[in-house]
Amino acid sequence: MQEAMNPFLIVDTAKSFENACVDLRDAVVANDFGVLAVHDLAMTLRNKGISFPENCRVFEVCNPQQAAKALGADMSLNMALPCRISVYTELGQTRIGMIRPEPLLSHLSHEPELLEVAKQVEASTTAMIQAAAGISSS
């Protein structure tokens, strides 16, 4: 029996939370994606009066050509877009992570064209995370 693919990719980095956020934004652009929005979840919680000690920013990122391919094949996949990459702290450790596109889309569709798009997007978003974390891709 084949083991299920881990749906998460989480990388620890020695960088500060703020530096990792700046470097992720740069890595997104360097990989021909755009940052559509950044949600500061920790600040939102604090602004609602909740004591929350960690940091967490969620970056919504998109490559328009890949998004158009996915939506052209199955419009209902709009609910899985855009890709989200998080920079967060956990007990003093800065982490960068995402839900991996390949297992996500393979669960939502068996369309061969979509699985190829998911593989390409996952390769790009993984490269972004590794670059932001300061991990060599070689």
Chain segment 31-68, per-residue pLDDT in tens: 999 999 999 999 999 999 999 999 999 999 999 999 99
To the nearest whole percent, how much of the chain has pLDDT over 70? 96
- The burial of 136, by beta-carbon neighbours within 10 Å (0-12 exposed, 13-18 middle, 19 or more buried), is given as exposed
Reported as a pLDDT band with limits 50, 70 and 90, residue 2 is very low
For the domain made up of 8-133, give the CATH fold.
Answer: TATA-Binding Protein (3.30.310)
Query: Residue 18: its pLDDT value, please?
Result: 98
Phi/psi-derived region of residue 134, left when phi > 0, alpha when psi is between -120 and 50, beta in every other case: left
Query: Residue 138: its pLDDT value, please?
Result: 54
Q: What is the mean pLDDT of residues 9-30?
A: 98
Tokens of 112: 């061969």
Domain ranges of the chain: 8-133
Phi/psi-derived region of residue 92, left when phi > 0, alpha when psi is between -120 and 50, beta in every other case: left
pTM, entire model? 0.92
